[in-house]
Structure 1
Amino acid sequence: MTAQDSATRSTSIAVAPSAGRSGTLLAGLGVVAFSLTFPSTVWGLESFGPWSLVTLRSLLAALIAGGVLLAGRVPVPDRGHWSGLAVVAGGVVIGFPLLTTLALQTSTSSHAAVVVGLLPLTTAVLSSLRTGTRPPRTFWIAALAGAAVVIAFTVQQSGGALSAGDLYLFGALLVCAAGYTEGGRLAGVMPGWQVIGWALVLAAPLMVAGAAVALSFEPVRLTAHGVVGLVWVAVGSTFVGLYVWYRGMAAIGVPRASQLQLAQPLLTLVWSFLLLGEEVSATAPVAAVAVLVCIAATQRLGGQAVVRPVRKGVRS
């Protein structure tokens, strides 16, 4: 019996207060780790080409994940989980890093943050379709309001202009939301760190081939920023960040966890100012307060989600 099968025995999702607090904390730590991804990628591009950076970050993260899995003698997942792991690998290990890295060649870190502003809403929608959860209407109103604030703020920061990398960013939005949704579902039946660990291992052969080709065509000019950027996106964003993120989603649910990411663009703007020297307008505090209000609303309302009954004999 899967976690989703068990959930259909009840018409409501109840999260224990202690589990809710720890899950929110873990998901929040994941958001902080993710908020450094764009500035770190910009640093990494100082030393590596986009294809080299993406393949190397995945390989380094896969080496860490593989070592941890071996040390813990973790059994290979059941055959039925590999299709889901492939979605996670395609979305968060390969697709999102590649598309955002390509976008950051022409877009600023602040402008690229618009994709993260849309990600919580997209993840909640895909999760609803995938798992059958139905948050109340007020949840969606709060989520839409938060997304609107983030979009307006990030577009204002970029001067209202759309960059040539926007197609990459919107593609990254879709594949990442799919990976988050499937990863959150799998985190209900196996530890979150194993979800991202096996996804990284699954993608490793493709990344080895990709790195061999990319490094032969793209020049490498090692700098302190470039090395630090590569290490962070590999260890901090790809492994540690996704580890705590999936644990948090398993504890409080995908829709509620996804809304915490409404704060991510604003955190990214702070890091972009501090680390990259990008300008941030005086409207940032106002937008931050508005987004935090929306986050508080979605966290409160997300616990009222319901699950559609699944017909007997239908399995996920």
Structure 2
Amino acid sequence: MNATTARGALLAAFACVLVGGSFTANSVLADYPYAGGQFLRYGLACLLLVPWAGKGAAGRLRALAPRQWVRLALLAAVGMVGFNLAVIAAERTAEPAVPGVFVGCAPVVVAVLVPLLDGSRPGQAVLYGALLVAVGAFTVQGWGRTNGAGIAFSVCALAGEVGFAVLAVPVLLPLGPRLLSATVCAVAALESAVVAVASDGTGWLRRPDGVEAAALLWQAVVVTVVGFVCWYMGMQRIGAERATLFSGLIPVAAACTAPLVGTGSYGLAQAAGSALVCLGVALGSGALTRAESGRATPPAASFRGNGRPQRRGYAASDMPE
């Protein structure tokens, strides 16, 4: 594993650990209007990200084609607003482990889907690693009670997790991680406001109390601003397939932090599942293989998701961050 790949892996892992550790924040927002809370979260995150978007941000946005704006809207709707709504809807009739298990299958879906969209075959190492990650995530979380609606919404949550990675691939290169994060947060805030008004009417937004405000700040600043930028910086360096492997760390981080707040325990099953996730990530990301001397893969070559070079002639120095 060369330096670029190692840095990308660390960034993707850090982002997923932040998401996994944020479940406590979600638990204290149960009484706050959901869509209104998402509006505050993504709106604040956008305001914080805009000054950090880099030089020429306006020009890069103007250069986007209409189809790329449609993709950004779908990314926000499916991978952000839709994903969160699907998880909440699934947990109304299913135990939280059920959508967690489905979302844990995202690495397998991405490992197959990204190469197929690119006209190639899935890489065996990434696919085997993704299968280990999915089994490990299931072992960590177990399975809970559910019904048909719970399974259906869990499948929607899986689609949202996959979309968050796959839909970003063609727009990550021209925008870069910071501008992409700021843009999708702005779009997600607008979409959340529309959903909130449609579902909650005039009560879609209220002043949060101290605990709710702290949870929303954590979600906006740590999980969204830091987490999104780290995630897309990691994906920029190692590709969507390998980056999504690290989503298996989300249930591991949640299982490790649950005992700290008294919402769960960490036992033998969690330890075994964590080991499987780590093994799958190491196998699929290439950490178990030595990088060939003098043949480090440039960031632009790993962007497409399968590690194959770009056809459009971008160099590593052309890639905005």
TM-score range, shorter chain: 0.7 to 0.9
> Which AA in structure 2 matches 1:190?
L
2:12 matched to which residue of 1?
27
- Aligned-residue CA RMSD in angstroms? 3.1
Shift of 1:99: 1.8
Residue from 141, 148, 173 that aligns with 1:154: 141
Aligned: 1:103 with 2:90: yes
1:272 matched to which residue of 2?
258
Distance 1:264 1:146 in 2: 11
2:115 matched to which residue of 1?
128
Residue from 112, 121, 128 that aligns with 1:141: 128
1:52 matched to which residue of 2?
36
> Which AA in structure 1 matches 2:178?
W
Shift of 1:27: 0.9
1:193 matched to which residue of 2?
178
Distance 2:101 2:258 in 1: 14
1:314 matched to which residue of 2?
none
Shift of 1:222: 4.2
2:317 matched to which residue of 1?
none
Distance 1:240 1:95 in 2: 21
1:94 matched to which residue of 2?
81
Distance 2:201 2:261 in 1: 27
Contact 1:134 1:308 (C-alpha < 8 Å) held by counterparts: no
Change (3 A) 1:309 1:188: closer
Aligned: 1:74 with 2:74: no
Task: Give % identity.
Answer: 21
Residue from 222, 226, 234 that aligns with 2:212: 226
Shift of 1:119: 1.8
Distance 2:228 2:239 in 1: 15
Contact 1:117 1:262 (C-alpha < 8 Å) held by counterparts: yes
Shift of 1:248: 0.5
Contact 1:61 1:234 (C-alpha < 8 Å) held by counterparts: yes
Distance 1:92 1:120 in 2: 15
> Which AA in structure 2 matches 1:283?
A
Which stretch of the first structure deviates more once superposed, 136-145 or 221-230? 221-230
Contact 2:104 2:138 (C-alpha < 8 Å) held by counterparts: yes
1:43 matched to which residue of 2?
28
Distance 2:219 2:259 in 1: 18
2:155 matched to which residue of 1?
170
> Which AA in structure 2 matches 1:32?
V
Contact 2:136 2:275 (C-alpha < 8 Å) held by counterparts: no
User: Tell me, what secondary structure is at the counterpart of 2:173?
Assistant: coil
Distance 2:92 2:214 in 1: 18
CA displacement, residues 36-62 of structure 1 (integer Å, 9 cap, x when unaligned): 34332122224x032332333222223
User: Tell me, what secondary structure is at the counterpart of 2:168?
Assistant: helix
Q: State the number of aligned residues.
A: 290
CA displacement, residues 87-143 of structure 1 (integer Å, 9 cap, x when unaligned): 221222321122223334555555543233112222223322333353433432232
CA displacement, residues 187-232 of structure 1 (integer Å, 9 cap, x when unaligned): 2333111112111223333333444553724685844432222222
Contact 2:99 2:154 (C-alpha < 8 Å) held by counterparts: yes
Distance 1:123 1:183 in 2: 12
Aligned: 1:207 with 2:192: yes
Residue from 161, 164, 169 that aligns with 1:179: 164
> Which AA in structure 2 matches 1:255?
E
User: Normalising to structure 2: TM-score of the pair?
Assistant: 0.77
User: Tell me, what secondary structure is at the counterpart of 2:101?
Assistant: helix
Change (3 A) 1:239 1:77: farther
Which stretch of the first structure deviates more once superposed, 246-255 or 232-241? 232-241
Structure 1 stretches lacking a partner, 5+ long: 1-15, 311-316
Contact 1:184 1:254 (C-alpha < 8 Å) held by counterparts: yes
Distance 1:208 1:240 in 2: 23
CA displacement, residues 4-32 of structure 1 (integer Å, 9 cap, x when unaligned): xxxxxxxxxxxx81211111111111111
> Which AA in structure 2 matches 1:74?
A
Distance 1:232 1:44 in 2: 12
Change (3 A) 1:167 1:58: farther
Change (3 A) 1:131 1:179: farther
User: Normalising to structure 1: TM-score of the pair?
Assistant: 0.78
Which stretch of the first structure deviates more once superposed, 91-100 or 58-67? 58-67
